[in-house]
Structures are given as structure tokens and as C-alpha cells.
Amino acid sequence: MSTPTGGRRTTPADAAKRLPAGSRSEERGTGQRRPAAAGQRPAQRPGQRPAAAGRPAQRPGRATPRRVRLTVSRIDPFSVFKISFLLSVAIGIATVVMVGVLWTVLAGMGVFDNLNELLRTLDSEGSNFDLMDYIGFGKVLSLSVLIGVIDVILMTAIATLMAFLYNICASLVGGLQLTLTDD
């Protein structure tokens, strides 16, 4: 550290701020910058080819993609909770829409009317049985909404529980190993 004539101490970071932008070089490990000596080239990174005079350094081209082996050692249960909740809500909404469309198509084809006539002919007592009292559009749709809500709760709870169980098993055996490549 140097003390200028003003008596104030300057740090290496203050000295590096006063240097022109091209004369700075990284000092490893400290995160501070120090000035490069006159005529000295900046330090090379490991694995980097030395730059030829007048030419910038180029990355070597790879013939094969790089492969990396990674281990999934822990899964955050809260992130699993959030994702499984959103996906199960989407599945629940899709189920309700699918049931509504299917009921409308079957009613449009006359399936419920034909089934109602068949049940009336089989009824020997002659009662006024109407199938639509049991499988009307409102009742079917409300039942599918109820099943969808139960499905959301169960799928979210099961997925979160599976994340906890995976974390316990991964702590015992080391986790799931993946091999990833960059193409």
C-alpha cells in the first residue's frame, strides 16, 4: 500500500481504477485487480492456447460433444410441491373440460335418449324412470369438478412425499446419476 502526499492510503483497487482499461489484469483468488507490468502479456487461463503475435486466441474446435456425469443428490420438496400443484391443477381443468365435451358429444349423438328408451322398455312396472335425473350435464360436471379437486390434493401430496422419500434414499445410496452431453 502506498500513501500519496495527501496522507490518504490507497488500496490496490483504487490504484487499478486509475489505470487505463487495457492495462488491467485479473489477480487469481482475491478478486482484486493489479496493474500488468510493462511489456508483459496478460495471464492465460488454464487450457487456453497461447495467442500468436498479432492474432487473438481461438477456442479449439471439438470433434465430439462434451459429456458430463452429474448426480442428483437432493430434490427440493417445496419446488416439487409447487410444480406438482400447478401440473395437477392443469390436469384437473383438462379433465373437467374433457368430461363436458364428452357428455355433449354423447348427448348430441342421442346415446342418452336411446339408453333411456331401452331402460323404459325393460321396466315392467311402468314407472316414469328418467336416466337424465342421474346423469344430467350439471351433475356429471359437478362430480368431475369434485374428482378434479381430490385429484389435485392427492397428486400434490404424493409428489411431495416422493421428493422426501427420494432425498432419504439418495442420502443412503448416493442419488441418481445422469450423463449429459452438449450438442
For residue 126, being part of any structural domain is answered with: yes
Residue 153 lies in a domain: yes
DSSP 8-state code for residue 45: P
27-57 pLDDT, tens digit per residue, is 444 545 555 555 555 565 565 555 555 555 5
What is the pLDDT confidence band of residue 100, given thresholds at 50, 70 and 90? very high
Statement: residue 169 has pLDDT above 70:
yes
57-97: pLDDT as tens digits: 556 666 788 999 999 999 999 999 999 999 999 999 999 99
Q: Alpha-carbon distance 128 to 78, whole Å?
A: 54
- Residue at 8 is within a domain: no
Beta bridge partners of 34: 25
* Residue 27 belongs to a domain: no
Asked if residue 139 is part of any domain, the answer here is: yes
Q: What is the tens place of the pLDDT at every residue in 6-33?
A: 555 656 555 555 555 554 444 444 545 5
List the beta bridge partners of residue 26: 33
The pLDDT value recorded for residue 10 is: 59
**Residue 26 pLDDT:** 45
| Contacts of residue 139, Cβ cutoff 8 Å, sequence gap at least 6 | none
- Residue 71 is assigned to a structural domain of this protein: no
pLDDT band, very low/low/confident/very high, at 172 (cuts 50, 70, 90): very high
* 110 — pLDDT class (breaks 50, 70, 90): very high
Confidence check: pLDDT of 131 > 70: yes
**Higher per-residue pLDDT: 106 or 124:** 106
Q: Count other C-beta atoms under 10 Å from residue 17's C-beta.
A: 11
Phi, psi at 42, each rounded to 5°: -65, 155
Is 22 a domain residue?
Answer: no
d(CA 88, CA 101): 20
pLDDT band for position 138 (50/70/90)?
Answer: very high
Q: Which residue has the cell 492456447?
A: 49
Q: How many domains does the chain have?
A: 1
Give the start-end residues of each E strand in the chain: 24-26, 33-35, 67-72, 176-181
Amino acid 64: pLDDT = 85
Query: What domain range includes position 130?
Result: 79-181
